[in-house]
Amino acid sequence: MIKINLVREGRAPVRGTGAAPAVSAGLGVSAGPANLNTLIIIGLVGVSLVLAAGYWLINNRLLARRQDEVRVRKAEADKLESIIKEVEDFQRRKDSLQNRIDLINQLKQNQKGPVRILDQISRDLPDLVWLDKMTVAGGRITLGGRGLNPNAIANFVENVKNDPYFEEPELGNVSEVSVTPLVYSFDMAFSFTYQPKTPGAASGTPGATGTSTTGTTGTGARRTTTGAPAR
């Protein structure tokens, strides 16, 4: 039987043979692409750094511009706020003055009635008659006074009746309150209006003013010489 040893045929070639140069040649070829990849990576990193720096510079400029705009807007807002405060103060002063003007006008309007009433009654009041009290309420006037004789009181009633600002008077009791001097008391009530009953009758003295007259009593006539009391 014949045996063949095949182990030696699969072993590596012995050192010093022609196979070694082929291995060294393969190592030299693989070194070139590695350096190229490194250069590419370094270039990409550099470009990234440049882009990052540019992006940072652009954002920094935008941020500075925004901050400048914020400062300008804040200054404008502060200026407008001061103007708004001035306008509000002016409006408050205007409202206060308007309220005072309205109050003054209201007081003048309220004073118009009593002043007109007193003026007309002063015009209608004859000599020898004076008033002790007067009440004005709800367009109604109530008077209480005294006179030196009934005729003088009757003249006062007639003057009020003819006054364009007064309605028909209602004369109350006329009574003697003093003998020396002779004095009579009376009460009277009537309504008033701010518009005269006849156009153009506001100016001028309504009715004839009373003068010194001769009064009569139940016991006989008495001539009065006493001057008219102060009104």
What is the CATH classification number for the domain harbouring 134? 3.30.70.2830
What residues make up the domain containing 65? 30-116
**Half-sphere exposure at residue 56, Cβ-oriented, CA atoms within 13 angstroms:** 6
Please give the average per-residue pLDDT across 58-74, as a whole number. 90
Q: Is the peptide bond before 196 cis (omega within 30 degrees of 0)?
A: no
Do residues 174 and 191 share a domain? yes
Do residues 141 and 161 share a domain? yes
pLDDT digit string (tens) for 119-163? 889 999 999 999 999 988 878 899 999 999 999 999 999 999 999
The answer to whether the beta carbons of residues 167 and 192 sit under 8 Å apart is yes
Q: Residue 118 — very low, low, confident or very high, per pLDDT cuts 50/70/90?
A: confident
Do residues 73 and 94 share a domain? yes
- pLDDT, position 34: 78
Do residues 35 and 105 share a domain? yes
Closest CA to 176 of 153, 142, 210: 153
Do residues 93 and 154 share a domain? no
Share of the chain above pLDDT 70, in %: 69
In a domain, 63, yes or no: yes
Do residues 45 and 103 share a domain? yes
Name the CA dihedral angle for 223, 227, 229, 230, rounded to a multiple of 10 degrees.
160
Is the model more confident about 211 or about 115? 115
In a domain, 155, yes or no: yes
The region of weakest confidence among 31-40, 73-82, 163-172 is: 31-40
Residue 190: φ, ψ to 5°: -165, 165
Query: Which of 84, 116, 148 finishes a domain?
Result: 116
- pLDDT, position 195: 72
Residue 140: count other Cβ atoms within 10 Å of its Cβ. Answer: 12
Do residues 109 and 166 share a domain? no
Q: Residue 88 — very low, low, confident or very high, per pLDDT cuts 50/70/90?
A: very high
Q: Residue 103 — very low, low, confident or very high, per pLDDT cuts 50/70/90?
A: confident
* Residue 153 to residue 210: CA distance in whole angstroms: 9
In a domain, 9, yes or no: no
* Residue 76 to residue 86: CA distance in whole angstroms: 15
Do residues 58 and 111 share a domain? yes
**pTM given for the model:** 0.41
- pLDDT, position 25: 45
β-partners of residue 174 are: 186
* Residue 134 to residue 144: CA distance in whole angstroms: 6
Q: Residue 185 — very low, low, confident or very high, per pLDDT cuts 50/70/90?
A: very high
Element (H, E) at 140: strand 140-147
pLDDT digit string (tens) for 5-62? 655 555 555 554 454 444 444 444 455 677 888 888 898 898 899 999 889 999 988 9
Per-residue exposure over 147-182, b if at least 16 CB sit within 10 Å of its own CB, e if not: bbbbbbbbbbbbbbbebbbbbebebeeeeeeeeeeb
In a domain, 7, yes or no: no
Name the CA dihedral angle for 77, 82, 86, 89, rounded to a multiple of 10 degrees.
100
Do residues 97 and 130 share a domain? no
| Number of compact structural domains in the chain | 2
In a domain, 185, yes or no: yes
Do residues 37 and 112 share a domain? yes
* Residue 120 to residue 194: CA distance in whole angstroms: 11
Do residues 47 and 99 share a domain? yes
